[in-house]
Amino acid sequence: MSLIDIVIITVVAVAALLCVRNLVRHASGQCADCASGSSCSAKKTGKGSCKVAEDMVSKADAAFKK
């Protein structure tokens, strides 16, 4: 392996570790950050369900049924 191979592998490994670290640090159950996060009662209280996710799933189901 040349030096450039080692550098590329190191950069990819560091990027992957940072992604995993971000996922672990910001894990909030089933709720993710979205545009509705600031006004989402499910995210604030931890109770209820995400209306945005329900809408997305219902639209996907409707598209598959066509």
In tens, the pLDDT along 6-63 reads 999 999 999 999 998 887 776 655 566 666 666 777 766 767 777 777 888 899 998 9
Confidence of residue 65 (pLDDT cuts 50, 70, 90): confident
Determine the structural domain holding residue 15 and report its residue range. Answer: 1-30
Counting the structural domains of the chain, the total is: 2
> Is the pTM higher than 0.75?
no
Cβ atoms of residues 16 and 24 within 8 Å: no
The predicted pLDDT at position 13 comes to 97
Residues 21 and 49 grouped into a single domain: no
- Per-residue pLDDT at 14: 97
Question: Do 26 and 43 belong to one domain?
Answer: no
Same domain, 1 and 17: yes
Same domain for 22 and 40, yes or no, is no
